[in-house]
Structures are given as C-alpha cells and as structure tokens.
Amino acid sequence: MTEIISNPNAVTPATETHPLLRVENLAVHFPIRAGPLATVSGHVKAVDGVSFDLHAGETLSIVGESGCGKTTCAMAIARLQTPTDGRISFAGQDITDLESRRLRPVRRRMQIVFQDPFSSLNPRMKVSDIVAEPLVVHGLAGEPDVLRRRVGDLLALVGLSPEMGRRYPHQFSGGQRQRISIARALALEPDLIICDEAVSALDVSIQAQILNLLMDLQQRLGLAYLFISHDLSVVRHISHKVAVMYLGRIVELADRDALFNDPQHPYTQALLAAAPVPDPDRASPYLPLKGEAPNARNPPSGCPFHPRCPHAISQCSTDVPALRQVGNRSIACPVVAPA
C-alpha cells in the first residue's frame, strides 16, 4: 500500500500511564431557560461525571438508550461542545481548555465520522475536495498532482474508485457516503476516530460492510475507535470494551465478552434483555424493565436508575453510586458492588 497507511503514531505501544484518551469526570450541563427574562431555572445534566480510558488501537463503545448523553459525551471529547466540568486528555495532553488555535494539532489526530451521511457532506463540494479538505486546512496538500493521487488512494482505501472523486455527494448512496466520510476522517492519519452512530442510518447489509471496513482499517492502521451506538449487536461485533450509559453516567464498563456474557448491573441486564433474541425457544434470562426512562430535566435522586431497578435498596434513592472496580469490570451499583 501507499504511504497513507503507514502511521508512525500507531506503532507506539500504549502504556498504562498514558492512554491515548483519558476522560475524567466529564460533565456537560445545558441550562434550561424559561420565563420572559430567559432566566436559568435548572440544568439538563446530559453528561454527568463520565470517566474512562481508551488505549491506542482499541475500540471502546458507549451504549445506552436515546437521550442518555452518548452523543453529547462524544461531542465534548471532540471539543465541539464545551464541557461544564471534568478533564479530557489526549495522548497525555490536557485538551479540556485548549483554545481553538492550539487545538488544531489535536484535531489532526482525532477525527469524527457522523451519524447522518446525508447531512455530513457539503452538497456543493466534489467528493475529491471533501476528502482533500482536511489536508488543505492543515496545509498538507502539497502539489496538486500529489494531492490528487493521495485522495485517490484514500478513496481506494475505503473501497471506492478514485474516479468517483469527480462526482458530487448526491450521486452516492448512503453507504457510499459513509465511506466518503471515513475517507475524509482517514486523510490526516489520525490515531482516534470517533464514530457517532456511524452505521445507524444504514441498511443492515451496508452496516456490515462499513463495520468490517472499520475493523479492517483498525488492523492495518492501528486506529482507536470511540464508538457511539445504541445497537447492541453492532457493538458486540466491533468493540474491545463497552461502557453502558444511563442518564449521563456510566453504570458499567467491561471487556466486551464479560459484559455481554455476564452483565452485572441491573440496567445492563435489562438493556441486553430488551435486545431481540433471534430464537423463539431461547428466552432471555433477565427481567424486562418496568416504567419509562426518567426526564433528564428532573432526574431521580441517588442512583438515577433506582425507580426502575428490581434490586433497589433504600440506600439507592439517597446516594449516587460511584463507579467501582470489581473483578474484571467497573460498575456503579451498591447492591452488586457494595463499597
């Protein structure tokens, strides 16, 4: 292959002290404004104290139902959303408060693939210009000939033919557009790609193609993925580690197999139980969940999950459980993992 796939940063072995991405107590609160003077009457705590590490070459998925703060969390890490509290470190550097000029070298190493392939590509730009844009923005475009070859290589890398660069986005299908988004994300040879529901908008057969492409690229380029999804089967396919979010907090974080084969947190169990099992004789061993997800404007006291939890004890309604390391996983539950 060409020089595009040689990624010097990816070869550096990840050390325990220096994960590629470290998120500590990340919080994003949105003010609720009401009344004639638009006074702040409260806050929606979209993300409320999320912490995790992501190592080079690894895939960490964040799963949870709609409105649990997965995407807000990803946008805050990409600094497209200003965090209210907490720290984000990328490759050992604190990027939480970096001003936009000093953020540029970080952006070069951290790219995003967005959910909707129909609005994430500028309809007035040719595909070759879209893929070349990151290089142009960072002053790495070089000679027109070199740039054209590079864009062609990138398109080939995601399974499109270089001639397609002459077309406009509306001439492509959803899956092809998502490949273009991936080519754009790869242009700067990043270490981390944040995939925000990157396959949710696609048909199942196209989903499989894109997932396999992502995994293939990970092996070849040593990429790390932060994979945001609500689709458990997709997450199971692609992840090394999985974090389960509920109302802005991580309730359980474990290796993929540990989480899917032996879920411990009651919410994780309920979430897995809600996923359809493609076998009528094999009922899920876990109880289905009662009630509805609470309003994020007015979350329950203590553990946000306690009103729906089948195992809740009195302590659950008063104390917010912290994420604790228990065996092979981190879990936030006083019943399953008592202090």
Partner 1 sequence: MTVSPTTTNLVQPGPPRAAPNAGLAGFLRELVRRKPLGAIGGAVFLIFVFFGVFADLLAPYGINETNLRARLEGPSLSHLFGTDHIGRDVFSRVLKGAQVSMIVAVVTSAFATVVSVAIGAIAGYFGGRLDSVIQRFVDAWMTFPDLVLLIVVISVLGPGATQIIVILGLLYGIGGSRIVRGAVLSVRENTYTRAAQSIGAGWGHIIWRHILPNIAPVVIVVFTTRISAVILVEAGLSFLGLGIAAPAPTWGGM
Q: Minimum distance between the CB of residue 125 and partner 1, rounded to whole angstroms?
A: 7
Cα 9 → chain centroid: 21
- Binder among 99, 145, 170, 219 for partner 1 (CB under 8 A): 170
167 part of the interface to partner 1, by CB under 8 A: no
Can you tell me the distance from the alpha carbon of 62 to that of 205, in angstroms, rounded to the nearest whole number?
A: 22
Can you tell me the distance from the alpha carbon of 216 to that of 204, in angstroms, rounded to the nearest whole number?
A: 18
39 part of the interface to partner 1, by CB under 8 A: no
Q: Minimum distance between the CB of residue 207 and partner 1, rounded to whole angstroms?
A: 18
- Residue 110's SS3 state is strand
Applying CB under 8 A, the span of 45-53, 134-142, 232-240, 262-270 interacting with partner 1 comes to 134-142
Q: Do 106 and 90 touch, CB atoms closer than 8 A?
A: yes
How many other β-carbons are positioned within 10 Å of the β-carbon of residue 263? 23
Helix-then-strand count for the chain, H and E: 10, 12
Contacts of 92 (CB under 8 A, 6+ apart): 18
Strand partners, 326: 329
Q: Minimum distance between the CB of residue 11 and partner 1, rounded to whole angstroms?
A: 24
Can you tell me the distance from the alpha carbon of 253 to that of 258, in angstroms, rounded to the nearest whole number?
A: 10
Q: Where are the alpha helices (DSSP H) in 2-113?
A: 8-11, 70-77, 100-109
Q: Which residue is listed with tokens 């540990």?
A: 258
**What's the length of the chain?**
339
Can you tell me the distance from the alpha carbon of 122 to that of 119, in angstroms, rounded to the nearest whole number?
A: 7
Q: Minimum distance between the CB of residue 338 and partner 1, rounded to whole angstroms?
A: 41
- Binder among 51, 96, 111, 178 for partner 1 (CB under 8 A): 111
Q: Which sign does the torsion angle of CA 291, 292, 298, 302 carry?
A: positive
100 part of the interface to partner 1, by CB under 8 A: yes
End-to-end CA distance of the chain: 52
Applying CB under 8 A, the span of 28-36, 121-129, 154-162, 229-237 interacting with partner 1 comes to 121-129
* Site map 59..98 versus partner 1, x via CB under 8 A: -------------------x-x------------------
Q: Minimum distance between the CB of residue 120 and partner 1, rounded to whole angstroms?
A: 4
- Binder among 124, 276, 278, 282 for partner 1 (CB under 8 A): 124
- Binder among 119, 173, 261, 325 for partner 1 (CB under 8 A): 119
* Site map 219..258 versus partner 1, x via CB under 8 A: ----------------------------------------
- Binder among 98, 103, 164, 293 for partner 1 (CB under 8 A): 103
Query: Given the rule CB under 8 A, which residues bind partner 1?
Result: 78, 80, 100, 103-104, 107-108, 111-112, 114-116, 118-125, 133-134, 137-138, 170-171, 181, 184, 188
